[in-house]
Chain A
Amino acid sequence: MKTIREWLKKHKNFNMIAGAVITGLILLIAVIGLFYTPYPSTEMNASLKNSAPTIKHIMGCDNYGRDIFSRVMEGIRNTFFISLATVAIGTVVGVLVGSVCGYFGGLLDDILMRINDALFAFPSILLALVIISLLGTGTQNVVLALGIAFIPSFARIVRSEYKKQVSLDYVQSARLMGAGHVRLIFVHILPNIVPVLLSSVMIGFNNAVLAEAGLSYLGIGVQPPEASLGRMLSEAQSYLFTAPWYAIFPGLVIVLMVLGFALLAEGMTEE
């Protein structure tokens, strides 16, 4: 306890703390949601249709009498893991493309970056929509579509970082010592761009959460009966007058998810 208090006094990084608390909570719920929800998320109870929050159902029930909190837990889990997978695809491919372009430059760089620029003209959610329209709906396709949609932004950031690093002395001396291209790219330069990469991963994660929620709001993301926060919002809209909590809780959870990561990213840049 004492060390934490001292650390707080020294750093006063409230963004980091608030972000860690919110994200930790969401993460905890996502992990618990893997094994346990208070009620089965698809269990319908006709007598509880659109009932208000009570002690037993802390977020109330939806139009089928399903426990909203259980569905929110499942929704957080889905959104969280979809976003994670999305960012993973975007980062890995983005680093590969960006590092090769930034490190070697030349014609390949010109061509790939021209394609990248063109891809940049499509808003990521739109790009994902198109890819899904080509591949069909379903969770894997959502991950793939969003992952592809996120590659250009990662590639661009990584490329510009590699461009900066490649002319630095440590790279030259490693090269003189006989390090090959692959070794230079991944062992020498990559660790130096991790801080930049990490904050763009955080921002990317947020964009993924927003995009996933948007897609499932449009009915193109996770398919029912599987719960998703975005779809809950679109279903809740018809019952806004009788059961406003149905819209408010899933929406607030999305806000908290995004807020937590935004604060963490902010706190990390302050450090």
Chain B
Amino acid sequence: MKHYGKKLISMLLTLLAVSFLVFAAFEIIPGDPALSKLGDNATPEAIAALRAEMGLDRPFPVRYFSWLADCLKGNLGESYSYHMPVSEMIGDKLPITLTMAIMSMLLTMAVSVPLGLLLSKYAYSKLDRAGYVANQFLMSIPSFFLGILLTWFFGLILKLFTPGGFVSYKKDFAGFLGYLILPSIAIAIPKCAMSVKLLRSSILTEADKDYVRTAYSRGNSTMEVLYRHVLKNAMIPLVTFWGMAVADTIAGSIVVEQVFNIPGIGRIMLTSISHRDYPVVEAIILLIAFVVVVMNFIVDLLYRRLDPRMRRE
């Protein structure tokens, strides 16, 4: 229990550091937000008044903490170009990107474990060799290129899928999930290939250890040894990898959204970057970093369930 508290505090500290970095980065941008809000021909008095209203005349630490307090209340500021609260702009887009990221993570987990088991069962055979080559190749394909290939193959040749036919989850949830399948596959394939490779090698390393021989000598069958002993240990590096892959998956979603014309967080982020709409970019970055940190925390907890040795420390 003590450990969980410690981890929780460390997570909160990281979140604090993340928020500070984000705030500081957007503070050093040249240019005055009040000026960009009012336009070039505003009078100095109007600018000064708006600066006071936006609280820009206060010192840096004060502004940071009031910004942080606002963020915690769910008030992420107001977009420069759309003049609406950022939370409203992001609110209904976030589920789209997160659904895609979660779908591809689940896909990675569901596919890579059986495949990794299969390859390690037939280790050093022809199947294993073919799997190795396929893995190396798939690992090297950027997910947006995979997305383009999948659109081309399933959309234009087989005509099983309408490119650009995104449906909102509010209108048709099944159709929404259906449209997200190909993008999720595009994100999942490289991650999946890495997971399979990792699991295969970690099973083979574990299988050589003494406890496996002991388990056999106590009369366990191969299946029992594999599932009760080896797999449990072999999963540890894989869970670490999955934890690190979360950040990548979310970043991947942002790029792949463009391939499949999905109006998620990535779309808003790119338009906001090109319009220099900093409050929006700031909020999205903060949100994603928060998701990543929280996910890492969860992975850490999972770890302890998998590996009792970690609990003893």
Residues of A at under 8 Å CB distance from B?
114-115, 117-126, 129-130, 132-134, 206, 210, 213-214, 217-220, 230, 233-234, 236-237, 240-241, 244, 247-248, 251, 254-256, 258-259, 262-263, 266
The 8 Å CB contact of B254, one of A126, A251, A266, is A126
Q: Mark B138-180, 1 if CB is under 8 A from A, else 0.
A: 0111101100110110001000000000000000000000000
Whole-angstrom CA separation of A133 from B279 in the bound complex: 12
In the assembled complex, B310 has its CB within 8 A of some CB on chain A: no
B13 touches A240 (CB 8 A): no
CB-CB under 8 A for A240 and B152, given A114-B17, A126-B254, A220-B273: yes
A122 touches B289 (CB 8 A): yes
Query: How near does chain A come to B196, taking the closest CB pair, in angstroms?
Result: 15
In the assembled complex, B231 has its CB within 8 A of some CB on chain A: no
A247 touches B152 (CB 8 A): yes
In the assembled complex, B14 has its CB within 8 A of some CB on chain A: yes
The interface residues of chain B lying within 8 Å CB-to-CB of A126 are 250-251, 254, 285, 288
Nearest B-chain residue to A241, judged by Cβ:
B156
Query: How near does chain B come to A110, taking the closest CB pair, in angstroms?
Result: 11
Nearest B-chain residue to A257, judged by Cβ:
B140
Residues of B at under 8 Å CB distance from A?
13-14, 17-18, 20-21, 25-26, 28-29, 136-137, 139-142, 144-145, 148-149, 151-152, 156, 247-248, 250-251, 254-255, 258-259, 269-270, 273, 276, 278, 281, 285, 288-290, 292-293, 296
B251 touches A123 (CB 8 A): yes
Query: How near does chain B come to A145, taking the closest CB pair, in angstroms?
Result: 12
Known A126-B288, A218-B270, A237-B148; 18 more pairs at CB < 8 Å: A114-B13, A118-B17, A118-B20, A119-B21, A121-B290, A122-B18, A123-B248, A123-B292, A125-B251, A129-B269, A132-B273, A133-B278, A217-B258, A240-B148, A241-B156, A247-B145, A251-B142, A251-B148
B255 touches A214 (CB 8 A): yes
A233 touches B25 (CB 8 A): no
Whole-angstrom CA separation of A219 from B14 in the bound complex: 32
4 nearest CB pairs, A to B: A123-B251, A118-B17, A258-B140, A259-B140
Nearest B-chain residue to A128, judged by Cβ:
B251
Query: How near does chain B come to A127, taking the closest CB pair, in angstroms?
Result: 8
B151 touches A240 (CB 8 A): yes
The 8 Å CB contact of A121, one of B140, B259, B292, is B292
Nearest A-chain residue to B13, judged by Cβ:
A114
B137 touches A123 (CB 8 A): no
Query: How near does chain B come to A124, taking the closest CB pair, in angstroms?
Result: 8
The 8 Å CB contact of A129, one of B21, B273, B296, is B273
Whole-angstrom CA separation of A210 from B248 in the bound complex: 12
Query: How near does chain A come to B187, taking the closest CB pair, in angstroms?
Result: 12
The interface residues of chain A lying within 8 Å CB-to-CB of B152 are 240, 244, 247
The 8 Å CB contact of B276, one of A133, A214, A251, is A133
Whole-angstrom CA separation of A75 from B191 in the bound complex: 26
Query: How near does chain B come to A262, taking the closest CB pair, in angstroms?
Result: 6
A247 touches B148 (CB 8 A): yes
The interface residues of chain A lying within 8 Å CB-to-CB of B285 are 122, 126, 130
The interface residues of chain A lying within 8 Å CB-to-CB of B18 are 118, 121-122
A218 touches B142 (CB 8 A): no
CB-CB under 8 A for A263 and B292, given A122-B285, A233-B148: no
B139 touches A251 (CB 8 A): no
Query: How near does chain B come to A268, taking the closest CB pair, in angstroms?
Result: 15
Nearest B-chain residue to A234, judged by Cβ:
B258
B258 touches A218 (CB 8 A): yes
B255 touches A125 (CB 8 A): yes
A121 touches B293 (CB 8 A): yes
Whole-angstrom CA separation of A240 from B163 in the bound complex: 11
Query: How near does chain B come to A244, taking the closest CB pair, in angstroms?
Result: 6
The interface residues of chain B lying within 8 Å CB-to-CB of A254 are 142, 145
The interface residues of chain B lying within 8 Å CB-to-CB of A220 are 270, 273
Query: How near does chain B come to A80, taking the closest CB pair, in angstroms?
Result: 15
CB-CB under 8 A for A118 and B149, given A123-B247, A126-B251: no
A251 touches B14 (CB 8 A): no
CB-CB under 8 A for A255 and B145, given A114-B13, A217-B258: yes
Whole-angstrom CA separation of A199 from B151 in the bound complex: 34
Whole-angstrom CA separation of A123 from B288 in the bound complex: 9
The interface residues of chain B lying within 8 Å CB-to-CB of A214 are 142, 144, 255
Query: How near does chain A come to B179, taking the closest CB pair, in angstroms?
Result: 17
